[in-house]
Amino acid sequence: MADRMCERAEIEDRRKAESEVRERAGQGRAVVAAVASFSPLPSLTSRVAADFEEMERGRTEKKESFF
């Protein structure tokens, strides 16, 4: 019974963490969209937007900095 309660707590913690990640990704997309509307470098902002989309889909790989 204690194992079951522990398992439920772990599942709830995982759901909370996933929800926070989705919320942050949404905020990140809003920032990228705002920057893209003012940026003189559309190719750079489109690359950043693509990186946010990848992170949202769960493919968060460490990448070399492109600056």
* Segment 49-64, tens digit of pLDDT: 777 777 777 654 555 5
Q: Does residue 61 lie in a domain region?
A: no
pTM for the complete prediction? 0.41
Give the separation between CA 46 and CA 1, rounded to whole angstroms.
Answer: 51
User: What is the span of the domain harbouring residue 52?
Assistant: 2-56
Q: Into how many domains does the chain fold?
A: 1
In this predicted structure, the answer to whether residue 48 has a pLDDT above a threshold of 60 is yes
CA distances for 57 relative to 10, 21, 48, 51, angstroms = 22, 11, 14, 10
The predicted model gives 11-35 an average pLDDT of: 80
In-domain check, residue 31: yes
Q: Does residue 65 lie within any of the structural domains? A: no
43 is a domain residue: yes
Residue 36 forms part of a structural domain: yes
Top pLDDT among 45 and 21 is at 21
- Confirm whether 41 is domain-assigned: yes
According to DSSP, residue 26 is labeled: H
